[in-house]
Every structure is written in structure tokens, then in C-alpha cells.
Amino acid sequence: MDLDTRIFYYINNFARDTPWLHPVVAGYANDGVALFAILLLAGWWIARRANNPSAMTAAVWAPLGVLAAIAINQPIADYINAIRPCNALPHIVVLHCNTDGGFPSDHAMMAGAVTAGVWLVNRRLGVIAAIAALAMAWARVYVGAHYPQDVVAGLSVGAALSVTGYLLARPVLRWLVLRAKETRLRPLITAAPAEPDVVH
């Protein structure tokens, strides 16, 4: 038995011994994406209040990075078509299962991309997102939907894609943010009041 499967069994045995945790962990594993949406909104709000074009550029990119990571992950997962533990291993605790490819994990990919995106906006918020992402990865293994390597790959690739995309898109996004600041979109970009026109 390889190390990945051994770790999976260790977590699954813990799931077997903690039935009282099932509703909480399964709920987070399935619907925890809402928390990551809130983290993205929090990143935008922090950047807006900071009146920092660099932070706002990162905040604008963060959701785009998530969408890009998920879009890239789908064909990768379909091509690899790795069987999930819930479809491969008998006599395990299964709280959630799909039949599509499990490597890399979509949920972990999303969580990794969100974490990297909000980290670029605000380090403290990035730490919170990282904790939430690790909890999501663990939850996806706990419910039987993924092997540990599925979620580790998802977190890593999601974060890498988000950061790489930001570095490539930053010049254009920063220009758009600065332009939007001078339009009716200003309230979405900064909480600072517009400077009054100087009359000579």
C-alpha cells in the first residue's frame, strides 16, 4: 500500500470514529465554497478602504484567478481521470462521492487560488484563507471524495496559477484600476473621496 493510500485510511478511520463530526465536515466539504467567496469580497473591501491601487489590482485579479484555475483544472482532471477513493476502496466511510476524475481536486484548486489571491491583497487575510484552504483539503479527504495527493496538488497548482496569472495580468489590471478610479466606478475602487477640482 502506498503512502498516499495509507494516509487516506488514517483520515478515513478517524472519520469512522467521529460520526458526530460528519454533518459539520461534510457541510464544509460541500458548501464551504461560500466562505471563499466571502474571503474574496473581504479582500476587495480591504483594498477599497486602503485606497491602495496595488491592493485593488490584486483584489480585482483574485476572483479572475480562481475562475482561470478552475477552467484549467477541468481538462487536466478529465484527461488524468484518476479514480476517487470512494469509487475504488471497499468498506470505507463515504460522506460524499463523484464519478469524475479526482486529481487534482477542484475544491482544493479553488481554495489554493483564493488563498494566493487574497494573500496578494492582505497578508492577514491570506493567513485566514490558508487555514480555510487546509481545512477544505482535509475535509475533502475526510468525506472520502479524494486522496491526500489530490488535494495537495489542487492547493499547489491553484496557488501557482493564481500568482503566475497575477504577475502576467498586473500591468493591464493596474492601468484599468487607475482609469476606473477617475470614472463613476470610483466608489468600487476606493473609499477615499474624490479630490475637488482646483479653480485657478
58, 47 Cβ separation under 8 angstroms: yes
Q: How many residues does the chain have?
A: 200
The confidence band for 195, taking pLDDT boundaries of 50, 70 and 90, is low
Residue extents of the structural domains in the chain:
3-189
Query: Does the global pTM surpass 0.95?
Result: no
Say what angle helices 123-142 and 22-31 make with each other, to 10 degrees: 120
Do residues 144 and 86 touch, judged by C-beta distance below 8 A? yes
Is residue 75 reached through a cis peptide bond, with omega within 30 degrees of 0 on the bond before it? no
Confidence (pLDDT) at 170: 94
Query: What is the per-residue pLDDT across 94-126, written as a single tens digit (0 to 9) for each?
Result: 998 888 888 999 999 999 999 999 999 999 999
